[in-house]
Copies of this chain bind each other. A is one copy, B any other.
Amino acid sequence: MLQGHSAIIGLKQPPAPAGPHIADQTFAGDSRLFQGVPARIARYCNIYDEGDAADYLYKVLAGAVCTYKILVDGRRQVASFYLPGDAFGLERKDTQPFAAEAIAATTIVSMKKSSVLDLAENDPNTGRELTVWAMTELFRAQRHLLMLSQTAPARMAMFLLEMAERLRTGYEFELPMGRRDIADYLGLTIETISRMFTRFQQTGVIELQSSRRIGLRDIDYLTALSE
């Protein structure tokens, strides 16, 4: 890990110049709630570990974060990706069930979980936001779960469509994560991911401008695979 486990909270650095899409994706905490100094986190930097106290809630302003677990056999399972506008860190218990790390140069804001929960005590609006947030996480976990019960090409198709939907740049996009992260998200190996990219390109389903820059060409095919 390039920069070790630096303390993220209160890590004072000049706030990132916010891009046009920053923090406009609704939900996950009243915008007033995320008021801290934005923290910049380098790629591969750990944000918290599995088992750490779950005291903070976070929101991604730019870049991307993933949560994951290391399994007994050494493999890593990525539980979720968080893109700009997404919030993470909401957990049922007091300890983190997953670790979180930046998968690209990332800017996040954070706030104390306890203050949000206190606020929700008296403000039905905040309470509803928490429920919506939890249900959005649930929806994604369920979609992810369906992915994992599919064949490799179907998982790829679902992944590509999910990214197109979440990155909000149409059917052309730049993946914020590398092959390893994709593989660990889809429960496949990097070799299989690579082969699927090649196969989809050769059959004209996608276009690979570079290894991360992708254009979806045959949406119908991808959609058919993904249901």
By a beta-carbon cutoff of 8 Å, the part of chain A in contact with chain B is 69, 71-72, 75, 77, 79, 90-92, 97-98, 120-122, 124, 127-128, 130-132, 134-139, 141-142, 144-146, 148-150, 187, 224-225, 227
Contact = CB atoms under 8 A, between A and B. Distances in A.
The list of the 6 closest CB pairs from A to B, nearest first, reads A127-B127, A134-B134, A141-B141, A148-B148, A149-B187, A92-B135
Contact of A144 (B77, B97, B139, B145): B145
22 contacts: A69-B146, A71-B146, A71-B149, A72-B225, A72-B227, A75-B149, A77-B145, A79-B145, A90-B135, A91-B135, A92-B132, A120-B131, A121-B128, A127-B128, A130-B131, A131-B131, A134-B135, A137-B138, A138-B141, A145-B145, A148-B149, A149-B187
A216 to B, nearest CB: 19
Q: How many copies does the complex hold?
A: 2
Most chain B beta carbons < 10 A, residue from A91, A142, A225: A142
Contacts of A149: 71, 75, 77, 148, 187
A144 B122 CA distance: 34
- Majority SS of interface residues in chain A? helix
Nearest to A141: B141
B92 A138 contact: yes
Most chain B beta carbons < 10 A, residue from A136, A150, A225: A150
A7 to B, nearest CB: 27
Contact of A141 (B121, B127, B142, B187): B142
A79 B187 contact: no
A120 B136 CA distance: 18
B141 A145 contact: yes
Nearest to A130: B131
A144 B137 CA distance: 14
Nearest to A134: B134
B127 A138 contact: no
